[in-house]
Structure 1
């Protein structure tokens, strides 16, 4: 039987026409889908630039529905939900991304980071901690460790904070020796509150070795040594403080007066404070020199002359008020009222002020209660800044 080539000649045009029609239909569908997705995407972007977040979210939701496999749209939507405070919806978006088996490694890490941020913003610290721990070994590792550090500081979990600080120090992510010393001091304070003074002393010795130029460990160590009736060791620790970190000496003045009285080192304390005051006058050092019954000159004089001497170095309402408190006035009946007014006016000037956020307090803080910064309080009063 012979093969008829006429059928092939007739079939080729038909096959070509059918293929052409099919390709046109596919192209039309692709173009229609591509027009819908970018249109919704750019509409959402326009709303976002105009700070119309509600309309932007609606537009991005439409874009996601048209192209549910696009990860970037999901990330944009999750970020918008988080910015609006709809944390539960942001969590759902990022958890949906993490559940996708086709998600690449970079996008998976990005989704895990977004999920951790959602939990942080929502205040779910335990879930945030778990999410951040999963970012170890990723491109977000350094940022995750900083966030973990903030979580442990807020929850006062100083042991965990110290662990993270050591790992960051070991990974050359910055110098965290100062923070680590503070964490050790906080642990020592907790131990001391439970009468575990020996353990507290060990922690403080470690803090001194960790950050020799930080004043707090030596101040806290001298306090513990004094409580352990090791006042001579406490005096040596305070002498080391004056040599290594003299800027922190004003914060140790009350403790130094106690230790000097217990060890008979009042003369040595007066000399040490006098030298430091000559280098950097301070209201705290001034009060200590007055309390030690010294005078600014070697001859006979009144210990309160220190206040007049200080006024010659720098104007100070606080010093003037303290000097006036012991001065007789012509009209003694007016003295209490005048003194009360001056004390009221000078009281704000004797506070400490955070250099980072401006939070003022009557006592010195190593960790600002306002902005959570470490070592942001200078060892000087507001009037001296």
Structure 2
């Protein structure tokens, strides 16, 4: 055999063990490096969890950022970081985190849907309703569909897009998420109020008739219908609408007791109205019912004293600063020169007691709202005032 060939084979045989040894060392180095990195990522992650449990959000964010840098492919770390940013009100940073997740081609289908939902929540919390609406619509036919529809419903109610809100409630009803019949009646009433304000009473009346037909037991459509008829000078129709209200939802009568009394006076049906209001007052005393009864009795000549005695009867049943102030307003005092400042002080003290209070959040207002301005809850205002609760 040629000497050069023999020498070459010798070098190959000598090199094989050397290459094996070098490869083994390299693999061990990579393994150690990988173990070190894997130790660092969980360590930062658990440190972040510890900070989070101790409500140290700044330190938790720093730890999660470190964990993400050590292991940028871990989606769970991104979700944790994005949620932390949203909770702190740093919506722009939360959006960037979730947009980065959605841009990854290797993201699984379920994680992609989760990231889309998180992005929609970011926009919603930031008040970017148009972007939130677009993001939520992309969640149709996903596990987040029902949550997305409820969020869309809140957006449409907030922006007063009543037609879109009605469409969403139809889908929610069809999917078994509840009965939104009364809510849809509110939407029709809101549209009717807008029509009436725009000078279209006939259009408003048509919408209210739809609301009455769709939710016969709901008080608002009949109340709005009575108010509309009264504004149009059709007191007989307004009175009849309120009689129907009393038959179907008598608890709501205090809200329009004054309207009922005014319509009765205009149509000469004061006896009927007085009997109705008195019966409702005896069953459930109310300051608004009381005022309407007094108004009707004062319409009869020489009956002013009898009318004011209703306030004394009310005081016998339950203490009421409001009733006391109204009774005192018609009395002649021994020191009549002191009456005006005393009356003014009583009226001022009684004002807060005449407010309505939301049963859901406690928001108080001088007028009754069908949807609370504070918490956006529907039908959360009782028909009675603060003093009567």
The match for 2:295 is 291
What is the deviation of 1:225? Answer: 2.7
Return the match for 1:333 from 334, 337, 362: 337
The match for 2:254 is 250
How many angstroms apart in 1 are the aligned matches of 2:346 and 2:56?
54
Q: Are 1:145 and 2:155 counterparts?
A: no
The match for 1:178 is 182
The match for 2:327 is 323
Mean alpha-carbon deviation: is it higher for 145-154 or for 48-57? 48-57
The match for 1:73 is 77
Q: Are 1:59 and 2:58 counterparts?
A: no
TM norm structure 1: 0.90
Q: Are 1:159 and 2:163 counterparts?
A: yes
Assess if the C-alpha contact under 8 Å between 2:297 and 2:304 holds in 1. no
How many angstroms apart in 1 are the aligned matches of 2:128 and 2:310?
55
Return the match for 1:225 from 226, 229, 233: 229
SS in 1 for 2:101: helix
What is the deviation of 1:14? Answer: 7.8
How many angstroms apart in 1 are the aligned matches of 2:102 and 2:304?
81
Mapping of residues 45-56 of structure 1, within 5 Å:
45-56=49-60
What is the deviation of 1:177? Answer: 2.1
Could you say if the C-alpha distance between residues 300 and 134 of structure 1 is closer, same or farther in structure 2, counting changes exceeding 3 Å? closer
The answer for unaligned runs of 5 or more in structure 2 is 2-8
How many angstroms apart in 1 are the aligned matches of 2:177 and 2:164?
17
Cα-to-partner distance string for 1:206-259 (whole Å, 9 max, x where unaligned): 222333232111100112233345433322221111011101001011221232
Return the match for 2:99 from 95, 101, 105: 95
What RMSD, in angstroms, separates the aligned Cα atoms of the two structures?
A: 2.7
Assess if the C-alpha contact under 8 Å between 1:270 and 1:294 holds in 2. no
Cα-to-partner distance string for 1:293-329 (whole Å, 9 max, x where unaligned): 179xxx9971211111111211111112111211222
Cα-to-partner distance string for 1:314-352 (whole Å, 9 max, x where unaligned): 111111211121122222222222222221222221221
Assess if the C-alpha contact under 8 Å between 1:177 and 1:211 holds in 2. yes
Q: Are 1:214 and 2:218 counterparts?
A: yes
Could you say if the C-alpha distance between residues 300 and 91 of structure 1 is closer, same or farther in structure 2, counting changes exceeding 3 Å? closer
How many angstroms apart in 1 are the aligned matches of 2:174 and 2:264?
40
Could you say if the C-alpha distance between residues 32 and 154 of structure 1 is closer, same or farther in structure 2, counting changes exceeding 3 Å? same
Mean alpha-carbon deviation: is it higher for 174-183 or for 281-290? 174-183
What is the deviation of 1:105? Answer: 1.4
Q: Are 1:31 and 2:42 counterparts?
A: no
SS in 2 for 1:292: helix
The match for 1:359 is 363
The answer for unaligned runs of 5 or more in structure 1 is none
Mean alpha-carbon deviation: is it higher for 222-231 or for 244-253? 222-231
The match for 2:282 is 278
Mean alpha-carbon deviation: is it higher for 139-148 or for 187-196? 139-148
SS in 1 for 2:142: coil
The number of residues matched between the two structures is 379
How many angstroms apart in 2 are the aligned matches of 1:301 and 1:96?
77
Q: Are 1:105 and 2:86 counterparts?
A: no
How many angstroms apart in 2 are the aligned matches of 1:13 and 1:362?
93
Assess if the C-alpha contact under 8 Å between 1:77 and 1:93 holds in 2. yes
How many angstroms apart in 2 are the aligned matches of 1:58 and 1:348?
49
TM norm structure 2: 0.89
What is the deviation of 1:118? Answer: 1.0
The match for 1:83 is 87
The match for 2:5 is none
